[in-house]
Chain A
Amino acid sequence: MKTNINIKNRVAIIGAGMTLFRRKLKETPQEITFEAVKMALESAGLEAKDIEAVVIGSAPDAFDGIHEKGEHLADGALAYLKPSKRVFVGGATGVMAAISGWWHVASGLYDLVLVIAEEKMSDAKPHPQAVFLHIWDPILEKPLNPNLIWIFAMEMHRYMYKYNIKKEDIALVTVKNKKNALDHPAARDAMNLTVEDVLNSEVLVWPVQRLDISSITDGAAAIVLASEKVARRFTDSPVWIEGVGWALDSTHWTCRELAYPLYLEYAGNMAYKMAGIENPRKQLDFAEVYDPFNYKELHHMEGLKLADKGKAPELTREGVTQRDGDLPICPSGGLLGVGNPIAAAGLMKVCELFWQLRYEAGKRQVKIKNGYALAQAWGDLMQVSTVLIAKGG
């Protein structure tokens, strides 16, 4: 049953757009922002003047080398003389931007809101990894010269140890998502691989190998949100946002049980409760869980109660999470397949809900039964998750 929460307006997604996701795009951050916004407006059948407010999502400033990236992107984001804000919760930013856009409309403040997320990672030299050094604690952690992959490797290994998970099973996620991406026209990393290819790829930080990770990517994505009052003026098939949730764990990541994302359980529960979802495993038609690393897809499925603890690898092995399986996970191809321009990647997942729930996903189309689907992102120091549940029809 849906909980009776005080939401003034039901909110629909009525348009979506994204640029190509590529290793390097010629455009500036503002230019790709402009391109994604234009595509979302066209998809919604709106003109620029129709948008009342704008939410911008972008991850660490240091990638583009410019602080206050929200302001930097504003002109390309259709924010000129409009109420606009930038949202930032690390890797979880893309879905958080959509949630923020949701409350702009749900509160009754606006009827038409644009949400845009952008990331240009190719500018940082020699590699954006060096920029990531500055997210660590400067006193106790940075002096040890950590590479960002270290923390994920530590979490992955803890997860593998606790539930006795094999690397072969985790590698299946890479194989699935990169294959799914073959049908995504904007994908950067679509390919046919075998489990052996993944297991034989270069070891970076054991247990993390090259093909366990998504790639650094440039790209932008955008959606248009509308209140119930106006949505049907623009489309016969709005996609409704039925639930949102987010939660943040302690920054002291070395003092947490890394094998299970408790904060995601909280975020998921908040969204499920709002959407009236009691059995997510049965009621969701598919889920775009956040997959910057292959083990994260499994980890997140468990936090979202789409699999029992330690059992997501089994579902993957049985084919349940394939596009034609019982519960498709990342039918878009995810971050592993489509690419990982951080904030834009999260919003790309929301775009995928929009296209799938309107039967517009082409070769990627999954079977829609109940009409519910979920998008999730994750970030900061492995401590925050953001969840959005949408319903078609």
Chain B
Amino acid sequence: MQKIYPSIPVLKEDEGKIVEISYKPEAKYLISAGQAISRFLNELKNGKIIGRKCFKCNRILVPPRMYCEICFKSTDEWVYVRDIGKVVTAVVSYITVDARKAEKPEVVGIIEFLDAPTQGIFHRINVNPEYVVNRKIFGVTVKAVWKKENERKGDINDILYFEPIEEIK
């Protein structure tokens, strides 16, 4: 086996001395939300959560999809589900999207809808981080807290966060 490995590491003292070019790409998009998610977003505006049911496996898919990836067929009907679920997992973030220190910790997690077993979304959870660290938040029933009706825009942030509706033991 060769003992000498190629390439030249840039050490701390070399920083600023090597030739580098700054580059910032610009890319903008207008993304079609599609059949299923357009309806889902419009229903968020009404303060409602909607899924699609597959008659073959009987799952209610939330967020909705026009096809079932397991049965590989078109889904069959629209079904409203309650905005209530159980916390499947949760974490406390101390950093921002680009890895800088966040101003205050934020709890996020996956909420599995009571009316749509196995199906969940990821969102903020309004709970003391201590319940995440001691893992007591797992399995707790939570409900969506919505923006005021006239402030909703038909996006995922129309839900402010989910909040426990039972005592955490």
Contact = CB atoms under 8 A, between A and B. Distances in A.
A25 interface: yes
A360 B1 contact: yes
Given A144-B156, A160-B135, A205 B95 contact: yes
Interface in B127-169: 129, 132-133, 135, 138, 155-157
Given A154-B109, A250-B69, A129 B122 contact: no
Nearest to B62: A255
Given A150-B91, A157-B135, A255 B7 contact: no
Contact of B156 (A24, A32, A140): A140
B122 A144 contact: yes
A144 B124 contact: yes
Interface stretch (A35-43, A190-198, A265-273, A309-317): A35-43
Interface stretch (A13-21, A71-79, A318-326, A368-376): A13-21
A3 interface: no
B135 A254 contact: no
A38 B95 contact: no
Contacts of B25: 65
Nearest to A67: B25
B42 interface: no
B121 A19 contact: no
B45 to A, nearest CB: 14
B3 A185 contact: yes
B91 A42 contact: no
Give the interface residue-count category, chain A: 35 or more
A362 B1 contact: yes
A32 B9 CA distance: 11
Q: Most B CB atoms within 10 A — which of A23, A158, A205, A254?
A: A254
Contacts of B35: none
A204 interface: yes
A140 B63 contact: yes
Nearest to B63: A140
A205 B96 contact: no
Nearest to B132: A206
A129 B97 contact: yes
B58 interface: no
B57 interface: no
Given A153-B91, A157-B89, A160-B135, A139 B33 contact: yes
Contacts of B1: 43, 355, 360-362
A186 B124 CA distance: 41
A66 B10 CA distance: 22
B81 interface: no
Contact of B91 (A144, A186, A206): A206
Interface of B: 1-3, 5-10, 14, 18, 23, 25, 29, 31, 33, 37, 41, 61, 63, 65, 69, 88-100, 108-110, 118-124, 129, 132-133, 135, 138, 155-157
- The 3 closest A-B CB pairs, nearest first, are A35-B6, A19-B7, A130-B98
Given A129-B99, A157-B132, A158-B89, 18 more contacts: A19-B5, A22-B10, A24-B10, A25-B7, A39-B5, A122-B10, A127-B98, A130-B99, A138-B31, A144-B157, A145-B96, A145-B97, A147-B98, A149-B95, A161-B138, A185-B3, A207-B91, A255-B120
